[in-house]
């Protein structure tokens, strides 16, 4: 069932993940934009009684502005499927696959996308001894942001011991060969790539602080990279979106190591210098977030973007 005449909108925000605070900001920004456009908006701080909250609000469409575990890993999407009203972003299967970084990498690699070499390991083992040759990265396998990401540099005697106590990372973590280079990201709307943004972190690497703290990073839209490199990132972002079965708005993150490339480089050489890190099925939704920035660059302001997402909502997803 597609959405054509939505008037009452429930905006899901907050929730129970480590990214609750970020979700509250996204959700409020969306709610404010929709109210300005005349929608009847109910804000829902999603809890375990979400089904009851939805029944009370009785919306025509649900805008899912939750971030992180539970909100974008397929579990809330299952509740929304049962509720039976159109909702935004990806459905159960795509959300679950994209949140599971290890499985998402397997699918993306099969689709012809370069991904970092790595493996899934028990968190306690990863904290006890090197599981890859440094430099490498240890990150949660099923979280929606860079909470608890550890960079193990060349020369490190052992991984950080505190990782064993960081239960928020989950029982199993993803160990990946460190991918050097420029941080790039591409948003996909309705199956079409928007543009490429370069993210310049003002911290050691693009971690939680770089993403969300004031002054943590700068965004260059569009990225000052070659046309060929931009095309590869955009093609792969669409390929990942489709391979995982995503819908609505997604954002894919890349690393591009262009240090040893000359001006006459071939596309094959550029392809070998780009890796995809992950895909986010529910990107941040403030006017200065990465995806809204890209939409704005393409001529769609924040209110228009929120309207597009509402109109794109459907059931099932």
Cα 284 to its chain centre, rounded Å, is: 8
Catalytic residue among 198, 284, 291, 293: 284
Q: What is the mean pLDDT of each run of 10 residues along the chain (317 residues)?
A: 72 92 95 96 96 97 94 95 97 97 97 96 94 95 73 94 88 95 96 96 58 70 95 98 98 92 78 95 92 97 97 95
| Annotated catalytic residue 176 | no
d(C-alpha 274, C-alpha 66), whole Å: 30
Architecture in CATH for domain 98-114+180-281: 2-Layer Sandwich (3.30)
| Annotated catalytic residue 71 | no
Catalytic residue among 278, 289, 291, 293: 278
CATH, domain 8-89, list 3.30.465.10, 3.40.1000.10, 3.40.50.1820, 3.40.50.20: 3.40.50.20
Q: Where in the chain is the domain with CATH 3.30.470.20?
A: 98-114+180-281
Q: Where in the chain is the domain with CATH 3.40.50.20?
A: 8-89
| Annotated catalytic residue 167 | no
Q: Where in the chain is the domain with CATH 3.30.1490?
A: 118-177
Catalytic residue among 85, 182, 251, 317: 251
Catalytic residue among 60, 73, 100, 253: 253
The pTM (predicted TM-score) of the whole model is: 0.91
| Annotated catalytic residue 117 | no
Q: What is the pLDDT of residue 170?
A: 87
| Annotated catalytic residue 60 | no
| Annotated catalytic residue 278 | yes
| Annotated catalytic residue 284 | yes
The order of strands in the sheet holding 150-152 is: 118-122, 172-177, 136-140, 150-152
Catalytic residue among 23, 90, 145, 289: 145
CATH, domain 118-177, list 3.30.1490, 1.20.120, 1.10.3470, 1.10.150: 3.30.1490
| Annotated catalytic residue 251 | yes
């Amino acid at each position: 069932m597609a959405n054509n005449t939505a008037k009452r909108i429930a905006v899901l925000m907050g929730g129970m993940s480590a990214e609750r605070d970020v979700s509250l900001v996204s959700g409020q920004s969306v709610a404010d934009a929709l109210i300005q456009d005349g929608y009847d908006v109910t804000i829902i701080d999603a809890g375990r009684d979400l089904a009851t909250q939805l029944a009370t609000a009785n919306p025509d469409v649900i805008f899912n502005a939750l971030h992180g575990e539970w909100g974008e890993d397929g579990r809330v999407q299952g509740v929304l499927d049962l509720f039976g009203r159109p909702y935004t972003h990806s459905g159960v299967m795509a959300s679950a696959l994209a949140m599971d970084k290890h499985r998402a990498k397997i699918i993306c690699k099969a689709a012809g996308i370069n991904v970092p070499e790595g493996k899934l390991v028990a968190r306690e083992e990863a904290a006890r001894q090197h599981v890859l040759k440094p430099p490498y990265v240890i990150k949660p396998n099923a979280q929606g942001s860079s909470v608890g990401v550890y960079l193990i540099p060349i020369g490190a005697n052992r991984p950080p011991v505190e990782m064993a106590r960081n239960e928020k990372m989950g029982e199993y973590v993803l160990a990946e060969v460190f991918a050097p280079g420029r941080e790039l990201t591409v948003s996909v709307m309705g199956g079409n790539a928007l543009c490429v943004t370069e993210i310049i972190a003002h911290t050691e690497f693009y971690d939680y602080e770089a993403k969300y703290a004031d002054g943590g990073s700068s965004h260059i839209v569009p990225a000052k990279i070659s046309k060929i490199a931009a095309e590869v990132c955009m093609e792969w972002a669409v390929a990942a979106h489709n391979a995982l079965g995503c819908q609505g708005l997604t954002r894919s993150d890349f690393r591009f190591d262009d240090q040893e490339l000359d001006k006459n480089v071939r596309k094959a050489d550029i392809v070998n210098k780009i890796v995809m890190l992950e895909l986010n099925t529910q990107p941040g939704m403030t006017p200065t977030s990465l995806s809204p920035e890209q939409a704005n660059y393409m001529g769609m302001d924040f209110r228009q973007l929120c309207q597009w997402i509402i109109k794109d909502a459907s059931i099932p997803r």
